[in-house]
């Protein structure tokens, strides 16, 4: 039985005490325990937990989105003041980032609302991928703007444009932004797995901690130690933003291109399909892949050739309905066959 694979706390403790491989084995068996518990849990319980999470976190997600929007508007004004009054390239880099943060919040909110209300006659698969496209567009704009900052900073170093003035008010303004971003970072951290929107906001706040902190340091150092530290700081800030958003864009492209779901999720679908009905003799194929932030699931089941059409249809439809209400599943397709020796169902691989 699959339950026999579970490790008790005492067994995990004994495994942990082994030399060299103990901790790695413990992590492996904990992961296996989680997988087994997930497999043994009824599909209705998976569904109810997902619905309960959505109810529990709906208000929290809205707070994260609106708090980020309001904070970014105020911080945009503060950091633009700091950038303009100081003429520090490092603070200009933070000001540009703050301006685009506010614009991006409006853009991401619009794409989210648009995705939820798209006309199914024009967009039959829904608007989930629109959010992913919005994230990619925003990340590309951020990378492009910061490339301009890098070019201007290099030009300032080459032309030896010196500005040794220390602007305390500007430093204080950016320090306030740093504190607010840290609070938003902590709040969004716990919610990042509940909403793709909040995940992008969390990444944005995380990046801003580095940007604002490093911007304050290099602007002050450029005023007090060496003038070239300020444009150098702007170069590092711009490069950091480009790398961070490049990583995010790469992940979002994977969602858009149809990256496979995690192996554990596919195992869950296989187990649930096999144990769904005694009429299902075999599982021929299971595929699960991204279509935006959520998954499309394809399952090919095998039933006896003499099974009445109505029964084959009802069982496959019920299985499809059960899969579609699992967490992170956008759509499911269940295909019924009577043998497994046939050629592939599709002549072309998508």
pLDDT in tens, 91-150: 888 888 788 777 777 777 777 777 777 777 777 676 777 778 888 888 888 888 888 888
3 state SS of 340: coil
pTM of this structure: 0.68
Output DSSP code: residue 259.
P
The CATH architecture of the domain made up of 263-337 is 2-Layer Sandwich (3.30)
The whole-chain average pLDDT of the chain stands at 80
Domain boundaries defined on the chain: 2-40, 59-257, 263-337
pLDDT in tens, 331-350: 899 999 888 776 666 655 55
The CATH architecture of the domain made up of 59-257 is Up-down Bundle (1.20)
pLDDT in tens, 223-247: 777 778 888 888 888 888 888 888 8
pLDDT score recorded for residue 309: 92
């Amino acid at each position: 039985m699959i339950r026999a694979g579970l490790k008790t706390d005492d067994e995990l403790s004994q495994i942990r005490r082994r030399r060299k491989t103990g901790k790695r084995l413990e992590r492996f068996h904990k992961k296996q325990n989680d997988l087994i518990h997930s497999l043994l849990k009824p599909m209705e319980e998976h569904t109810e937990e997902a619905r309960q999470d959505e109810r529990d976190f709906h208000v929290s997600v809205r707070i994260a989105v609106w708090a980020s929007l309001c904070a970014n508007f105020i911080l945009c004004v503060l950091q633009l003041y700091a950038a303009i009054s100081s003429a520090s390239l490092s603070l200009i880099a933070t000001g540009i980032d703050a301006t685009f943060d506010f614009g991006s919040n409006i853009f991401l909110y619009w794409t989210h609302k648009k995705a939820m209300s798209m006309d199914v006659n024009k967009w039959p698969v829904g608007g989930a991928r629109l959010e992913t496209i919005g994230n990619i567009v925003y990340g590309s704009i951020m990378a492009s703007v910061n490339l301009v900052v890098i070019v201007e900073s290099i030009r300032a170093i080459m032309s030896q444009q010196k500005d040794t003035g220390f602007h305390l008010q500007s430093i204080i303004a950016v320090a306030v932004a740093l504190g607010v971003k840290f609070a938003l970072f902590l709040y969004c951290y716990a919610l990042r797995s509940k909403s793709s929107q909040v995940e992008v906001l969390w990444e944005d706040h995380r990046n801003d901690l580095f940007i604002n902190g490093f911007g304050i340091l290099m602007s002050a150092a450029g005023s007090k130690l060496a003038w070239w530290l300020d444009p150098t700081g702007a170069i590092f800030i711009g490069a950091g933003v480009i790398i961070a958003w490049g990583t995010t864009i790469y992940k979002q492209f994977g969602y858009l291109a149809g990256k496979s779901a995690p192996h554990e999720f596919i195992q869950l679908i296989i187990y649930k399909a096999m144990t769904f009905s005694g009429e299902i003799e075999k599982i021929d194929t299971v595929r699960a892949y991204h279509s935006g932030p959520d998954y499309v699931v394809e399952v090919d089941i095998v039933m006896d050739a003499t099974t009445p059409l109505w029964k084959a249809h009802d069982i496959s439809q019920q299985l499809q309905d059960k899969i579609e209400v699992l967490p992170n599943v956008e759509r499911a397709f269940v295909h019924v066959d009577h043998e497994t020796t046939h050629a592939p169902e599709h002549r072309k691989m998508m």
